Amino acid sequence: MQSIIKVIEGISEYSGKAASWIVYMGIFMLSLEVVSRYFFNSPTVWAHGYTQRLFGSYFILIGAFTFIHQGHVRIDIIQGRCTGRGKTAFDIVNCLFLIVWSGVLIPTAWRFFLQSYRVREVDEMVLAHPIYWVKFLLFVGMLLIFLQGVSELIKKIGEIINPPEESVC
């Protein structure tokens, strides 16, 4: 089991670090748009739509990385009162919800992508850029979140079976 966890966490780490470069592309595009608009009075017709897609893709692709580093919002009112096994049990419930949520969204995202790709869906802008790639990234992001949820669940079950310290909620 440890090797599976290690592989999944490696994928989450790598994909999160790779996706972080999307932010720099978005910053570049927005800066270019600001310079074009305010210094040359010549705004672009594409920068706004592309930055929306880039940042949307970023937020979905960074989900597994955020999860591995405990960066997601949690219900601290309940979880903060728990220690040891109680906190671990609460984490297991959270992992199960995450796995079910992402498990439902994975096939939906795949269908969205396939439908968009088949018709070569484009945006509503004048340049009609393809948007099926964004829907593919939604699928990839959901898959990464699902895998990281499974990895966390395996770790938390291990902590329940073999706890580092004895205390309850």
pLDDT, tens digit (0-9, with 9 covering 90-100), for 97-120 = 999 999 999 999 999 999 999 999
In 3-state terms the chain splits into helix, strand, coil percentages (rounded to 5) of 75, 0, 25
Place of tokens 């969204």: 105
As a whole number of angstroms, the distance between CA 148 and CA 129 comes to: 32
| Helical spans, DSSP H, in 62-131 | 63-68, 76-79, 84-118
pTM: 0.83
Q: Which of 96-105, 119-128, 138-147 has the lowest mean pLDDT?
A: 119-128
Contact 61, 17 (CB under 8 A): no
Q: What is the mean pLDDT of residues 122-136?
A: 84
Question: How much is the pLDDT for 75?
Answer: 62
Confidence tier at 159 by pLDDT (50, 70, 90): confident
Give me the residue spans of the domains in the chain. Answer: 2-161
As a whole number of angstroms, the distance between CA 49 and CA 62 comes to: 20
Cβ neighbours, 10 Å, residue 111: 12
Q: Average pLDDT over the chain, rounded to whole?
A: 87
